C-alpha cells in the first residue's frame, strides 16, 4: 500500500510504500520504502493535504502550507511540482483550517475566514480564483461532498453555520457541451459582474445547548465538521456531526432543530478531528490524549478503540472501498452506507501524531495492520493506495501489551504471596502490645488465631514454625523477666541497707 504523510519538523512530504504486516519496531520485519520530497522547512510546514483528481484523470497531491502557499504535486514519483499559488492568506501567518476538492472546485479557508474557490478544470487561467469573507474566528470548515456550493463552518465561540455560494450553479443536463471539461463536472462558477467576489447566503445556524447543571452557559469551540447522509437530494435538509475542543460530539438535523439531536461528552480532553467510518451511523474521532475510537451517532455511545498511540493523534484519514471496487479518500467525496466490502479491498484508517509513528488499522476489526516510524511529528496523512495482501498474523500492539501485562501480573502474584507470608510471620513475631496498669506496665503477646486458622493446608508447616518461634520467645521473655525481678530485688535490698547505714550515722552524730 502507499501512504503520504506531512512532516511538521522539516516541512516535507514523505511517500511511504509497504505491505500489510510491516512493523519497523521489529528488526526482522519488512522495512518500508520512504521517499522524501518537497522540503520547505518548519516555517512552511504542511497544514492540510488531500488528493485531487483533475479532469484529465490524473491525480495530484494538493497541500496548503503555512504562509499562504498552496501547491499541487504529481502523486507518482518523482513527485514533480505541477502548480503553485502564493499569498492565499492574509496576514501571512494566518493558518489554513480547511482544504476541500469537490466537483473540480478547490476550496481553501483560513482561520480569519477568507474562503477562496478555484476551478481546477481551467487551471491555466490565472484569474479563475474567487473569494469571499466568512468572518472570524473559524477553526473548522467543510464543503458538502456532493454539492460544492454548500459549505459549513464554525469555531471558537462561533456556532455551526451552513451557507450556500450562489455563484456556483449546477449545469443543466441539456446544455452540456462536448468538451472534456464540461463532461467532467456538472457544476460551474457563473460569471460575476462585480469582480471575483463570491455571493454567499446563510441557510442555517445552530443554537447552543441548554445551560449546565449550575445554570452556566456551555462554551462553544468547534474543531471539526463532517457531512453525513450525503446522498440526500435536498438543498435545505442536511445531517452533520461536529467535534469540540471541550470533548463533545454533536449531531445536527437541520430539518428538525437548530439544537443538536445528539450531544455526548466522549472524554475530558479536547477532540481534534473526525473521520468517516464504513457506515453513516458511526464516526471516528481522536483527541489530545492518544485516544482514537468509534462513536455511534444513533445511540450516542462510544465504540471500540484503535489503540497503540503514545501521544496526541493529530491527523486521521479513512480509506473506504465502494461496492463497485472504486476507492474513495476520506478527505474527499465520501459515499454513504457501504454495506459490503469488496473482495481483496479492506477499509483502512491511518493515524499520525506526536509519537512519530504512522499506524494503519483495519477499520472494521480495529486490528493494527502496519506500523511505520517516520521520524517526525505528522501534521497530515493521506492513503493513496490501500491495496495489499492481508497477512495471516497482522501486527498487533494489543497482543504484546497483554502478554507483558500477564507476565507482570504473574510476577506480582509471586511477590504478593511471599510478602503475605513475610508479613504474617512479622505480625506474629511482634511481641508486644503495651497495657498501662495502675502501677506498672504489663506486656502481652497477641496471637493471630483467626488468621492462622483461615490459612490453607499448604501453610501448616509455616504455622508450626511460627508457633515454635512464639514458644521460644515466650520462654526467653519469662527468663528475662525473672532476671529483671532479681535485679530489682537486689537493688531494693541494697537501697534499704544504704538507708539504714545513713540513719545510723546521723544518730551517732546527734548523740555527740
Residue 180's pLDDT is what?
43
Determine which helix (DSSP H) or strand (DSSP E) holds 403, and give its type and residue range.
helix 397-429
Q: Is the distance from CB of 11 to CB of 45 less than 8 angstroms?
A: yes
Residue 489's pLDDT is what?
76
pLDDT tens, per residue, the chain with 512 residues:
899 999 999 999 999 999 998 999 888 888 899 999 999 999 999 999 999 988 778 889 999 999 999 999 999 888 999 999 988 887 878 899 999 999 889 999 999 999 999 888 777 666 678 889 999 899 999 999 999 999 999 999 999 999 999 888 887 754 444 444 444 567 877 766 656 788 889 999 999 999 989 999 999 999 999 999 888 877 889 999 999 999 999 999 999 999 999 999 998 999 999 999 988 899 999 999 989 999 999 888 888 899 989 889 999 999 987 643 333 443 333 333 332 233 347 899 999 999 999 999 999 999 999 999 999 999 999 999 887 654 445 565 544 444 444 444 444 444 455 556 555 555 554 443 444 444 444 444 444 444 444 444 444 555 556 566 667 777 777 777 777 877 777 777 777 777 776 666 655 555 44
Residue 437's pLDDT is what?
44
Phi/psi at 379 (nearest 5 deg)? -110, -15
Residue 41 falls in which region: left (phi positive, over 0), alpha (psi -120 to 50) or beta: left
365: helix, strand or coil:
coil
CA angle 309, 312, 315 (to 5 degrees): 90
Dist CA 114 CA 134 (whole Å): 6
What's the chain's average pLDDT?
78
Residue 492's pLDDT is what?
73
Which of 233, 294, 314 lies closest to 48 in space, CA to CA? Answer: 314
Dist CA 269 CA 247 (whole Å): 6
Cα of first residue to Cα of last residue in the chain, in angstroms, is 124
Residue 503's pLDDT is what?
63
Residue 399's pLDDT is what?
43
Residue 119's pLDDT is what?
86
This prediction has a pTM of 0.71
Residue 418's pLDDT is what?
57
Dist CA 215 CA 11 (whole Å): 46
Note the pLDDT tens digit of each residue in 231-244: 887 788 999 999 99
341: helix, strand or coil:
coil
Dist CA 461 CA 147 (whole Å): 82
Burial grade of 32 (CB within 10 A; 0-12, 13-18, 19 or more): buried
Which of 113, 119, 120, 117 lies closest to 96 in space, CA to CA? Answer: 113
C-alpha dihedral, 276 to 278 to 282 to 283, nearest 10°: -20
Which of 184, 195, 193 lies closest to 123 in space, CA to CA? Answer: 184
Which of 329, 340, 160, 296 lies closest to 238 in space, CA to CA? Answer: 160
Residue 198's pLDDT is what?
87
Residue 192's pLDDT is what?
66
Q: Is the distance from CB of 309 to CB of 292 less than 8 angstroms?
A: yes
Dist CA 390 CA 343 (whole Å): 11
Note the pLDDT tens digit of each residue in 365-394: 999 999 999 999 999 999 998 876 544 455
Note the pLDDT tens digit of each residue in 444-453: 444 444 444 4
Q: What is the largest CA-CA distance in the chain?
A: 154
Distances (CA, A) of 454 to 357, 417, 457: 53, 15, 9
Amino acid at each position: 500500500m502507499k501512504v503520504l504523510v506531512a512532516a511538521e519538523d522539516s516541512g516535507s512530504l514523505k511517500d511511504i510504500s509497504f505491505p500489510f504486516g510491516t512493523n519497523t519496531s521489529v528488526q526482522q520485519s519488512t522495512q518500508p520504502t520512504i521517499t522524501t520530497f518537497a522540503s520547505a522547512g518548519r516555517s512552511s510546514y504542511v497544514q492540510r493535504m488531500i488528493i485531487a483528481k483533475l479532469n484529465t484523470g490524473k491525480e495530484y497531491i494538493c497541500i496548503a502550507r503555512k504562509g499562504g502557499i498552496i501547491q499541487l504535486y504529481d502523486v507518482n514519483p518523482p513527485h514533480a511540482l505541477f502548480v503553485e499559488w502564493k499569498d492565499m492568506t492574509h496576514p501571512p501567518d494566518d493558518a489554513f483550517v480547511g482544504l476541500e476538492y469537490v466537483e473540480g472546485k478547490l476550496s481553501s479557508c483560513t482561520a480569519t475566514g477568507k474562503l477562496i474557490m478555484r476551478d481546477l478544470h481551467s487551471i491555466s487561467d490565472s484569474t479563475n480564483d474567487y473569494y469571499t469573507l466568512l468572518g472570524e474566528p473559524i477553526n473548522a470548515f467543510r464543503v458538502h461532498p456532493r454539492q460544492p456550493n454548500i459549505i459549513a463552518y464554525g469555531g471558537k465561540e462561533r456556532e455551526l453555520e451552513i451557507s450556500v455560494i450562489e455563484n456556483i450553479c449546477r449545469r443543466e443536463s441539456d446544455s452540456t457541451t462536448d468538451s472534456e471539461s464540461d463532461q467532467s463536472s456538472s457544476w460551474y462558477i457563473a460569471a460575476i459582474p462585480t469582480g471575483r467576489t463570491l455571493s454567499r447566503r446563510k441557510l442555517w445556524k445552530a443554537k447552543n445547548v441548554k445551560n449546565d447543571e449550575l445554570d452556566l452557559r456551555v462554551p462553544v469551540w468547534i474543531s471539526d465538521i463532517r457531512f453525513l447522509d450525503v446522498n440526500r437530494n435536498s438543498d435545505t435538509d442536511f445531517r452533520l456531526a461536529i467535534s469540540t475542543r471541550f470533548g463533545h460530539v454533536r449531531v445536527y438535523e437541520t430539518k428538525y432543530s437548530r439544537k443538536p439531536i445528539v450531544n455526548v461528552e466522549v472524554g475530558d480532553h479536547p477532540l481534534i478531528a473526525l473521520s468517516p467510518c464504513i457506515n453513516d451511523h458511526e464516526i471516528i474521532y481522536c483527541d489530545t490524549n492518544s485516544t482514537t475510537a468509534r462513536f455511534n451517532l444513533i445511540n450516542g455511545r462510544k465504540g471500540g478503540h484503535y489503540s497503540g498511540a503514545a501521544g496526541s493523534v493529530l491527523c486521521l484519514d479513512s480509506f473506504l472501498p465502494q461496492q463497485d471496487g472504486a476507492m474513495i479518500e476520506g478527505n474527499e467525496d465520501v459515499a454513504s452506507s457501504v454495506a459490503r466490502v469488496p473482495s481483496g479491498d479492506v477499509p483502512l484508517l491511518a493515524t499520525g501524531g506526536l509519537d512519530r509513528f504512522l499506524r494503519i488499522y483495519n477499520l472494521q476489526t480495529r486490528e493494527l495492520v502496519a506500523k511505520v516510524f517516520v521520524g517526525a511529528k505528522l501534521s497530515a496523512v493521506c492513503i493513496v493506495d490501500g491495496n495489499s495482501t492481508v497477512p495471516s498474523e497482522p501486527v498487533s500492539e494489543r497482543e504484546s501489551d497483554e502478554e507483558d501485562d500477564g507476565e507482570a501480573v504473574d510476577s506480582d502474584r509471586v511477590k504478593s504471596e511471599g510478602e503475605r507470608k513475610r508479613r504474617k510471620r512479622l505480625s506474629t513475631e511482634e511481641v508486644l502490645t503495651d497495657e498501662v496498669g495502675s502501677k506498672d506496665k504489663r506486656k502481652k503477646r497477641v496471637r493471630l488465631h483467626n488468621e492462622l486458622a483461615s490459612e490453607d493446608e499448604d501453610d501448616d508447616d509455616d504455622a508450626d514454625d511460627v508457633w515454635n518461634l512464639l514458644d521460644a520467645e515466650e520462654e526467653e521473655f519469662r527468663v528475662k523477666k525473672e532476671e529483671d525481678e532479681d535485679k530489682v530485688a537486689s537493688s531494693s535490698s541494697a537501697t534499704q541497707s544504704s538507708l539504714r547505714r545513713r540513719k545510723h550515722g546521723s544518730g551517732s552524730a546527734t548523740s555527740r
